[in-house]
Structure 1
Amino acid sequence: MTPTTATETISANDDTSMTRLRLSSGNGPVYRAVSKAPLREAYPSEIPIIDVSGIFSGPESDRMSVASQIRDAATNNGFFYIKNHGIPTEVTDWAYETLLEFFRQSAKIKERANVSQSRYYNGYKPPKSQRINPFESVDVRETFSWTYDPRYDPSVPDPAAIPPHIAKYLRCEDFQWEATANLPHLKEAIVAYWRACLSLARALVRAFALSLDLPEDSFLEKFTHPDAALALNYYPPIPVPETTSSSENGETQVSIGSHTDFQLFTILWQDDNGGLQVLNRQGQWINAKPIPGTFVVNIADYMARITNDRYVSTVHRAQNWSGRERISMPFFFGFNLNESCGVLDSCLAEGEERKYEEISCEDWVQRRAKAMHTTEDAK
C-alpha cells in the first residue's frame, strides 16, 4: 500500500501533542515522535557555530578545543555550523552560479545527462523522480550527482596503482561530463567545490577522532579513497502551508523528505533562501537558517553506529517556502567502501554492550539505499 501521510497519531495512552514520523533505515522501519508545535528558529545551543580554524593549527590544544566543541554538538542534535573552514567564497559562488545556469536550461538539454544512462548514478535527476521518504510527497527538486573519482583526488598520485581490493568499489566514468559538455565550466566548478570539501572533510575526520578520545590519525587508512559524493540540489519554491505545525492530516509537501544521511558526516553549503529543517531531541522541527560564511555539518548513520549512538544522526528535511529558487550543495563523506568498522571501544562505558555488529561501508550504504527507495508502507 502506498502511504499518503508522513505521520500518524500516537495512541491515546501517549502524548496527544505528538505525532509519529515514519522513516526508512538500514535497520528496518524506525519512528520519531514529532511535536505539533509550529516550526521555529533553532537556538544557538541547538545548532552551534564552531570556529574550526584550530584544526589547521600547529598546537594540539587548538585542535583539541575544536574537537571538544564537535563532541558537544554531535552528542546534542548532531548538527552544527562551521566557520573559518578554509573554503574560499569564490569556490562556492562559482559552483552556485554554474549550477543555476545548468538547472535553468530546458528539460531537453538537461535530459542528456539523465542518471538512468549512467553506470553509477552520476548525472541529472529530473523533477518528480525522487522520493527520499516514501511517507511524504515526491521531492520537489532536481539534482546533479557525482560520486568519488580518484582521478580528481589530489592525494592519489596514480589512480592506476590503486589496489584491486579498493579499486573494485570505485565508480569512475565520464558520462556526466560528456553529457554536459555544452557547459564546460560546469565540470570545472563542481570539481573545484568537491576538492575543497574533500580537503576539509579529511581535516574534520582528524578532529572527529580526537573528539572520540582517539589519536587523530586513527582513521587515516580508512579514507584513502573515501565515499565522497555530491548531490547538488535545485529546489523550486513550494507553497507555504496554512500552518507549519506537524499534523497527521494530509500529505506533507517537501522539497526533500525527512531522512538521515548514510555514512560519517555531511558538509552542506546552502544559499541564503533557507529551507533546511532539523528535528531536535524534543521532537520539534527547527530551522537551520543560512549563516553567511558557514557550512552546516551533520552526523550520519555510520558515525552513529560506530559511536554506539553517542553521536546523533538527526532527521532533517527541506521545504523551500522562500518564493525563490534554492540551491543546496551537500557533500557526503565516509570511509572507503571496502572498509568496515565496529563500535569503538572509546564509546563504551564499563559493562556497556555494543548495539551494532560490524558492517562494511559498502554493505551499509547498499542497505540504506535499498531501504530509502522502498515505497511500500512500512508499518
Structure 2
Amino acid sequence: MSTQDQQPATTLRLASGNGPITRSILPHPPRDALPSELPIISLAPLFSPSSSLSSRLEVAKQIHQAATTNGFFYITSHGISSSVIQEAQESAFRFFRSPVSEKEKASMHNSLYKYGWKPPRTQRLNPFESVDHRESFSWRYDPRYDPNVRNIEEEIPDEVKAMIKHDPDDYPWSAVPPEFKAAVIRYFQAVLQLGRILQRAFALSLGLEETAFDEKSRWPDLGMAVNYYPPLSGGVSGEKEEEGDKTKVSIGSHTDFQLFTILGQDEVGGLQVLSRSGQWLNAKPIPGTFVVNFGDYMQRITNDKYVSTVHRVQNYSGKERLSMAFFFGFNLNETCEVLESCVEEGEEPKYEAVSCWEWTQRRVRMMHDVKGDGS
C-alpha cells in the first residue's frame, strides 16, 4: 500500500442554498478525467432542421447519463463559430492586459449591482480556501442585448422588469473599449441562443415535452463572467498551501447557483471537477468544445437526480488563462417544484417549491453566511 493510500481523506467545506455542506476528498493529486467521466456529446441533431425526435432523444439520453454521474460533460457541434469565440477571447485578453487605470473605469465599485471589473485578489468564492487569484468582468441579463426581445415595454411583464437590475447609462459597457463590448456581447448572444436550444434537450432528458422550459426562461436569470487567471506560483497542480492552512486556488471550490453553466475555456487548462468518489479530475481543454455543468437549482427540481458538482480552478500552467462562464436560469418570477418525472415510485419530493428570485437570494446569503478562519 502506498503512502498516499494510507493518508486519511480530507474534508472540503463549502456553501449551498441549504446551508454549509461538506465533501470528502481522497488523498490523491488531481488526475486527468477519463472519457467515461467527462464525456463528449455532439449536439448536431439539435441544430439540423431534418433531425428526427428519435435522434434528439439520443442526445438527451447521453445528457441524462452524464447528469446523473459527475454532472459535467463537453459539447461539440454546438453551432457557435470559432471566429466568435476567438474574437471574444482576444478582446478579453487585451482588456485584462490593459493598465489598471483603464480597467478601473468599469470597476464594480461604480455599479449599483456590483457589475463590471473586479480587481485581482478581491474575491474569495470559498472562505475555507485562499483568496481567488483572478480578476474578472461580469454582468447579468439585460433584455436590451437579448436578440429574442424586440420591445421591452410591451413584451416583458412589469413583475419581471422589476427583478431585472442594470445600471443607468449602460454601465459597465459604457466604460469599456467598444471593441471589447462588441466582441463579448456577440459571444454572449451566441451562447444565449445555444442555452435555449440546450435546455430543450435537458427537458427531453427529464421525460418532459421538448418545449417544457421555453416560457420559464423567456427572460432568463443569466449571468456571465469573463475570468482572467495569472499563473499560480508553486510548481504543479495539487494541494499547494498559502495563508496558513488554506489551499491555494485560482477560483475556490464551489457549485453553481442556477440550472446549468456553459463554459468556454482556452487551451491552458486548470479547471478541476470533483468526482462523486472524492477525486479531483482535470477537465482538460478540448478544441472546439464547451464544458457544461448543472447547478443547484437543477439538482433541486430533479430531486437530486442531476448532480450539481463541486469544481474549482488551479492554474499552475505557468501561463495566463482565460475562461468565459455563462450561467443560465429560469425567469426570476418563476416558481418551480420538484418535477413529477423525477420522483420515483415510493419516493417523496425532497424540496418544497421555491421561486427563482427567492432561490438566488438565499444562495447568495448562504454563501456570505459561511465564514472561514481569516476570511
TM-score when normalising by structure 1: 0.92
Contact 1:35 1:246 in 2 (8 A): no
Moved more, 117-126 or 291-300: 117-126
Please, which runs of 5 or more residues in structure 1 have no aligned partner? 1-14
Matched residues in 2 for 1:324 and 1:244: separation? 17
Identity of aligned residues (%): 56
Q: Give 1:246 deviation, angstroms.
A: 8.7
Q: Does the residue aligned with 1:373 lie in a helix, a strand or coil?
A: helix
Matched residues in 2 for 1:245 and 1:191: separation? 36
Counterpart residue number, 1:237: 231
Contact 1:264 1:334 in 2 (8 A): yes
Letter in 2 for 1:225: W
Contact 1:258 1:317 in 2 (8 A): yes
Mapped pair 1:41 → 2:32: yes
Mapped pair 1:177 → 2:173: yes
CA RMSD of aligned residues (A): 1.7
Counterpart selection for 1:139 from 113, 121, 132: 132
Deviations 1:130-152 (A, max 9, x none): 00000000000000001111111
Mapped pair 1:89 → 2:82: yes
Matched residues in 2 for 1:340 and 1:44: separation? 36
Mapped pair 1:54 → 2:45: yes
Counterpart residue number, 1:270: 265
Counterparts in 2 of 1:358 and 1:196: CA distance versus 1, 3 Å: same
Deviations 1:72-103 (A, max 9, x none): 00001000000000000101101100001100
Q: Give 1:120 deviation, angstroms.
A: 2.2
Matched residues in 2 for 1:242 and 1:197: separation? 32
Counterpart residue number, 1:74: 67
**1:228-377 alignment, distance < 5 Å:** 228-240=222-234, 244=238, 250-374=245-369, 376-377=371-372
Mapped pair 1:112 → 2:105: yes
Letter in 1 for 2:275: N
Contact 2:15 2:370 in 1 (8 A): no
Letter in 1 for 2:44: S
Moved more, 100-109 or 136-145: 100-109
Matched residues in 1 for 2:182 and 2:241: separation? 44
Mapped pair 1:102 → 2:88: no
Q: Which runs of 4+ in 1 moved over 3 A?
A: 240-243, 245-249
Contact 2:117 2:137 in 1 (8 A): yes
Counterparts in 2 of 1:143 and 1:326: CA distance versus 1, 3 Å: same
Contact 1:263 1:303 in 2 (8 A): yes
Counterparts in 2 of 1:49 and 1:164: CA distance versus 1, 3 Å: same
Q: Give 1:250 deviation, angstroms.
A: 2.2
Please, which runs of 5 or more residues in structure 2 have no aligned partner? 1-5
Mapped pair 1:220 → 2:211: no
TM-score when normalising by structure 2: 0.93
Moved more, 357-366 or 325-334: 357-366
Contact 1:19 1:246 in 2 (8 A): no
Aligned length: 362
Letter in 2 for 1:238: L
Letter in 2 for 1:280: S
Counterpart residue number, 1:124: 117
Deviations 1:170-209 (A, max 9, x none): 12331111111xx111110111000000000000110000
Deviations 1:197-243 (A, max 9, x none): 00000001100000000101111110010012111000000024577
Mapped pair 1:194 → 2:188: yes
Q: Does the residue aligned with 1:369 lie in a helix, a strand or coil?
A: helix
Q: Does the residue aligned with 1:310 lie in a helix, a strand or coil?
A: coil
Contact 1:231 1:331 in 2 (8 A): yes
Matched residues in 2 for 1:321 and 1:196: separation? 30
Contact 1:78 1:314 in 2 (8 A): yes
Matched residues in 2 for 1:17 and 1:345: separation? 40
Matched residues in 2 for 1:321 and 1:372: separation? 26
Counterparts in 2 of 1:243 and 1:278: CA distance versus 1, 3 Å: closer
Deviations 1:298-335 (A, max 9, x none): 01000000000100000000011111110000000010
